[in-house]
């Protein structure tokens, strides 16, 4: 059974849970903690996800700070429209430090869930700074295509961009499975899509973007990225598929 992912950790801002908990910066009492944990177990069960008890503290921390999200910086290079709507755009992301973890479970959903569980604990004080670092979006999930292009490798890299405050001196993770990596600038072709993210939906989005692009030689065909912005409480939540431009 999978663990919880970023997509489950933000749902408390909807009507299914009392606003007094999300808005209250004070520590929760036992009753509130149990109510919160029970809510997340219910949310997780709809995604075949299990929430272990040790995640209670990090979930509470992120719940209290749910509206505090920092966008990963980028610059838009070009936008491509069809019938007045943007169908894809090209962006460049600057160099920066990312906390990364790789998991290779049976299902894509399990890999991203288990990876983000560990990143969440890093964000919520299991780091050398001993403090809550802050949430950034999007969280990136990188997939490697099989050689025959019939599907994806099991290993999925999940990456969290460190907030601007910590870019110059990144806190180190307590968990040895997490690595702080300085990545160079990233140039991507990106297309928005809505709904759930499974291997099937991701493959469909990849094929659709290739149809829009046509033949091009300077885009990687072995690695693709899913950028996650929103939670499953949003009926048609926003994601992006990213194609990576190769270095010239």
Q: Residue 26 above 80 pLDDT?
A: no
Asked if 188 and 85 count as a contact pair (C-beta separation under 8 A), the reply is no
pLDDT score of 44:
64
- CB count within 10 Å of CB 143 equals 23
Quick check: 2 pLDDT over 50?
Answer: no
Does 242 have pLDDT greater than 90? yes
Contact 175, 126 (CB under 8 A): yes
Query: Residue 61: is its pLDDT beyond 90?
Result: no
Show the tokens assigned to 153: 């490798």
CA distance 217 to 101: 30
Is the sign of the CA dihedral 3, 204, 10, 140 positive or negative? Answer: positive
**pLDDT tens profile 85-119:** 999 999 999 999 999 999 998 888 888 888 888 99
The whole-angstrom distance between residue 32's C-alpha and the CA centroid of its chain comes to 27
Do the Cβ atoms of 161 and 136 come closer than 8 Å? yes
Whether omega for the bond prior to residue 138 falls within 30 degrees of 0, making it cis, is yes
pLDDT tens digits along 158-169: 999 999 999 999
Please tell me the predicted confidence (pLDDT) of residue 1: 42
What pTM was estimated for this model as a whole?
0.84
Q: Under CATH, what is the fold of the domain 69-245? A: Multidrug-efflux Transporter 1 Regulator Bmrr; Chain A (3.20.80)
Q: How many residues belong to the chain?
A: 248
pLDDT digits (tens, 9 = 90+) for 199-215: 999 999 999 999 999 88
d(CA 129, CA 172): 8
Q: What's the rounded Cα separation, in Å, for the pair 143 and 221?
A: 11
- Where do the CATH 3.20.80.10 domains begin and end in the chain? 69-245
Residues 103, 237, 201, 74, CA torsion sign: negative
Place of tokens 């149809």: 211
């Amino acid at each position: 059974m999978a663990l919880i992912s970023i997509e489950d950790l933000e749902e408390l801002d909807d009507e299914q849970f009392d606003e007094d908990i999300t808005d209250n910066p004070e520590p929760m009492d036992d009753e509130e903690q149990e109510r919160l944990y029970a809510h997340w177990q219910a949310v997780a069960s709809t995604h075949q996800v299990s929430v272990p008890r040790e995640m209670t503290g990090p979930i509470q921390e992120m719940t209290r700070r749910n509206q505090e999200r920092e966008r990963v910086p980028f610059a838009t290079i070009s936008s491509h429209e069809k019938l007045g709507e943007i169908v894809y755009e090209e962006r460049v992301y600057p160099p920066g430090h990312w906390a990364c973890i790789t998991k290779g479970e049976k299902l894509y959903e399990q890999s991203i869930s288990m990876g983000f569980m560990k990143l969440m604990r890093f964000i919520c004080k299991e780091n050398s700074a001993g403090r809550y670092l802050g949430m950034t979006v999007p969280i990136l999930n990188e997939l490697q295509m099989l050689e025959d292009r019939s599907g994806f490798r099991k290993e999925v890299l999940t990456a969290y961009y460190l907030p601007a405050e910590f870019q110059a001196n990144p806190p180190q993770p307590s968990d040895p499975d997490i690595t702080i990596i300085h990545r160079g600038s990233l140039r991507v072709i990106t297309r928005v899509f809505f709904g759930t993210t499974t291997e099937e939906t991701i493959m469909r989005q990849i094929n659709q973007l290739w149809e829009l692009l046509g033949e091009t030689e300077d885009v990687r065909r072995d690695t693709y990225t899913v950028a996650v912005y929103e939670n499953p409480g949003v009926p048609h939540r926003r994601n992006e598929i990213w194609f990576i431009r190769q270095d010239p």
